[in-house]
Amino acid sequence: MVTLEDVARHAGVSLATASRVLNGSSRQVGRAMRERVEKAAAELGYRTNVAAQTLARGASDVIGLVVHDLVDPYFAAIADGAMRAADARGHMVMVGTTHRDPEREIAYVSTLHAQRVRAVLIAGSRVADAAVTDRLRAELGRYRETGGRVACVGQDLLGVATVAPANREGAADLARALAALGHTRFAVLAGPPHLVTAIDRRTGFTEALADLGLPEPQIVYGSFDRGGGHTAVQEVADATCVFAVNDVMAVGALAALRERGVRVPDDVSVAGFDDIATLRDLTPALSTVRLPLADMGARAVELALSGDHGDPPVVAGVEGRVVLRDSVRRLR
Amino acid sequence: MVTLEDVARHAGVSLATASRVLNGSSRQVGRAMRERVEKAAAELGYRTNVAAQTLARGASDVIGLVVHDLVDPYFAAIADGAMRAADARGHMVMVGTTHRDPEREIAYVSTLHAQRVRAVLIAGSRVADAAVTDRLRAELGRYRETGGRVACVGQDLLGVATVAPANREGAADLARALAALGHTRFAVLAGPPHLVTAIDRRTGFTEALADLGLPEPQIVYGSFDRGGGHTAVQEVADATCVFAVNDVMAVGALAALRERGVRVPDDVSVAGFDDIATLRDLTPALSTVRLPLADMGARAVELALSGDHGDPPVVAGVEGRVVLRDSVRRLR
DNA sequence: GACGATCAGGAAAGCGATTTCCAGTATGGC
DNA sequence: GCCATACTGGAAATCGCTTTCCTGATCGTC
């Protein structure tokens, strides 16, 4: 294992000089010395020991990212955006996947804290459970006290910088767009009753319908994934249009409808939320609300890294845009 | 920032004892002392400084993972499997995405080496370019010389432990299955001409056809992604069955065919490779060769972590299983 | 009851960088 | 030409933890 000291000795300079040449310092080093050190480092195949560097500097160049599930394209897209942004700033990303277990979320924050990562990004929707949210907040608080930076993608519940998609407004826009097509009898595949993202999308949708003077939609709860959509849609009684609170659920719903021989959009229209790129080739093409997921991940990195420590937490709103495709039809 | 020394002082014990209690050691500590230390740590909110620990121990608990693109569900699935396995062994995962740039792949290995990660996993297909592969191999060699462990998911080209899917055999099996349905005129959307995975799948397919005495298929090269399939399929002249060397390309092909009003499978059959879970709800359902992607990621972790350093590199073969679905039809 | 073996606790030497001083040398203004 | 000023290079302290010895005590055995 080649150390900086080996390099310094080989180049015939001091440790200090070698450090200044190789690992970025504000101090200048004369040209002759610089070249000798660089040559020595190359010859010996020196690699900085980041652990030592982190210890000495008191800060690492790693960013922690906590997501629910990388296989879910929603999180994959956010992670991708975050990693690009991190990379552009010379950071590496450590990822933890919780598979929707809030305890693991807390555990990961703790682990990332121990790693002394520069910032922690938390993506994914919170459950409206005060106790567990409080514990997460406490864990984040301890991390922030020691200089850690935190940003969140999702809801502004943690008291930290947040990239907040306009779930309510997006769902409301979608409701209005669908109503404009002539639909009046709706069903909402609403996901888990206590998941904040799901709640926001459901209420945004239903409130917009109420404002339009339309009848209340049928609400069917279920899980937040494909299976949830698949199961829930089977309980829909009579509706001309089904809104699933995310695209993956909508895909499950489409599959279930197809299995039962219900035609989309002829017999029933279907819409989702997120506009997952991987799902754009479905037939019929899914109507949805587009969220700039990769941008959201990148924004979260910027938010976490920028801003002074005492600043009040920033909330960056992100708008959704309604995209109507073949999965919905005009009525009458 | 609470240090171990603070905890030791607070508990009235030595640094050594505190270390043994809190950060796992083979040595026993008496019950009374242990409890005092644990209490002190809890009261002070102590978090191990992993950088210091890594420096002192000379090894970290982090595993590095290099993939092309997390948004590609193929890599997402592998990453997910790897992360689960890593987690089960108490490791965290640092991810780098290369977006198919071999230079970045090398750069990431270097960075991960600097991080002194316990193991590096490289997923994704290699380009048949000896120069760049040699440089990657050299970089990995330097890492391994200092005790680093490496495993690869894909081809056995790097001289390291490898999880190698049976691309040739899988493609050959698929060719035979399709031929058994009565198809004789094939086209292969072959991806990049120098990508090893693409080459293996293409040749496995064509060789099986040759063995059956069937005419040579039309080969159309292109990129390895959705766009590549979308573009390439438009050059297919006359074939009753199109094989895309991965599912994502097959999806692009399906989209292009649909746009042109070509019906699948009535006018032409389509098959892919990988069996990406996210894509299972396409219509028509895609025929493909199933690879246990998550298992492959997990296997790679095991391979990297197990085995003594002097051992010859293990190659763990992984079989693919042909899955015929609605996207292909029986001819005659 | 003595002796070697076993074991719990502590002092201190690293691990491999960064960074603060300090000293010595060039530079510039007058 | 002289003094204050800037720079460059080096010695050494430091970051927080692990681990090797070392010491003293407890234990079991003959």
A329 in any annotated domain: no
Whether B71 maps to a domain, the answer reads yes
> Which of A183, A289, A270, A274 lies closest to A229 in space, CA to CA?
A270
Asked if residue A331 is part of any domain, the answer here is no
Query: Is the CB of residue B147 inside 7 Å of nucleic acid strand C?
Result: no
Q: How far apart are CA A110 and CA A190, in angstroms?
A: 32
A22 CA, D5 C1': separation in Å?
28
The residue segments making up the domain with residue A270 are 167-290
Could you give the percent of chain A with pLDDT greater than 70?
Answer: 99
The answer to whether the beta carbons of residues B227 and B252 sit under 8 Å apart is yes
B172 shares a domain with B276: yes
**A327 domain residue, yes or no:** no
Supply the CATH number for residue B272's domain. 3.40.50.2300
At a CB cut-off of 8 Å and minimum separation 6, what does A34 contact?
Answer: A21
pLDDT, position B309: 66
Residue A277 and residue A174 share a domain: yes
Query: Does residue A75 lie within any of the structural domains?
Result: yes
User: Chain A interface, mutation test: which of B247, B251, B278, most A Cβ atoms within 10 Å?
Assistant: B278
Give the pLDDT band of residue B14 (cuts 50, 70, 90). very high
Q: Is residue A325 situated within a structural domain?
A: no
In this structure, are B222 and B255 located in the same domain?
yes
State the CATH number of the domain containing residue B29: 1.10.260.40
> Which A residues in the span 254-273 are in contact with B, Cβ-Cβ below 8 Å?
254-255, 258
Question: Are B114 and A48 within 8 A, CB to CB?
Answer: yes
Candidate ranges B237-241, B283-287, B292-296; pick with highest mean pLDDT: B292-296
Q: What is the pLDDT of residue B210?
A: 98
Q: Is the pLDDT of residue A150 over 80?
A: yes
B3 vs A: CB within 8 A: no
pLDDT tens track for B57-89: 998 999 999 999 999 999 999 999 999 999 999
Q: Pick A70's closest partner by Cβ from B80, B92, B277.
A: B80
Q: Assess whether A11 (CB) lies less than 7 A from strand D.
A: no
Confidence grade of residue B129 (pLDDT, cut at 50, 70, 90): confident
Q: Inform me whether the C-beta atom of residue B207 falls under 8 Å from chain A C-beta atoms.
A: no
pLDDT (tens digit, 9 = 90+) per residue, B220-272?
999 999 999 999 999 999 899 999 999 999 999 999 999 999 999 999 999 99
Which of B4, B70, B101, B282 best probes binding to A when mutated, by most A CB atoms within 10 angstroms?
Answer: B70
A17 touches strand D (CB under 7 A): yes
B30 plus B87 within the same structural domain: no
3-state secondary structure chain A: CCCHHHHHHHHCCCHHHHHHHHCCCCCCCCHHHHHHHHHHHHHHCCCCCHHHHHHHHCCCCEEEEEECCCCCHHHHHHHHHHHHHHHHCCCEEEEEECCCCHHHHHHHHHHHHHCCCCEEEEECCCECCHHHHHHHHHHHHHHHHCCCEEEEECCCCCCCEEEEECHHHHHHHHHHHHHHCCCCCEEEEEECCCEHHHHHHHHHHHHHHHHCCCCCCEEEECCCCHHHHHHHHHHCCCCCEEEECCHHHHHHHHHHHHHCCCCCCCCCEEECCECCHHHCCCCCCCEEEECCHHHHHHHHHHHHHCCCCCCCCCEEEECCEEECCCCCCCCC
Confidence band of B130 (pLDDT split at 50, 70, 90)? confident
pLDDT given for residue B155 in this prediction: 86
- Can you give the pLDDT at residue A23? 85
* Domain co-membership, B152 together with B190: no
- Would you call B50 and A283 a contact, using CB atoms and an 8 Å cutoff? no
Whether residues B153 and B297 fall in one domain: yes
Instruction: Return the pLDDT at A309.
Output: 66
Residues A171 and A285 reside in one and the same domain: yes
- Residue B246 sits in the same domain as residue B279: yes
- Total structural domains in chain A? 3
Taking residues A229-247, report their average pLDDT.
Answer: 96
Asked if B17 CB < 7 A from strand C, the reply is: yes
Let me know if residue B332 belongs to a domain: no
Within this chain, do residues A173 and A84 fall inside the same structural domain, yes or no? no
B54 within domain boundaries: no
Average pLDDT of span A251-268 = 95
CB contact burial B17-26 (16+ within 10 A = b; e otherwise): bbbbbbeeee
Residues B297 and B254 in one domain: no
Q: Which residue is nearest to nucleotide D10 (CA to C1')?
A: A14
A62 Cβ under 8 Å from any chain B Cβ: yes
- Signed CA dihedral, A126, B298, B58, B28: sign only: positive
Token pair listed for A53? 């560097």
Assess whether A221 and A242 both reside in one domain: yes
Would you place residue B312 in the very low, low, confident or very high pLDDT band (cuts 50, 70, 90)? confident
List the B151 CA – D20 C1' distance (angstroms). 34
Same domain? B177 vs B275: yes
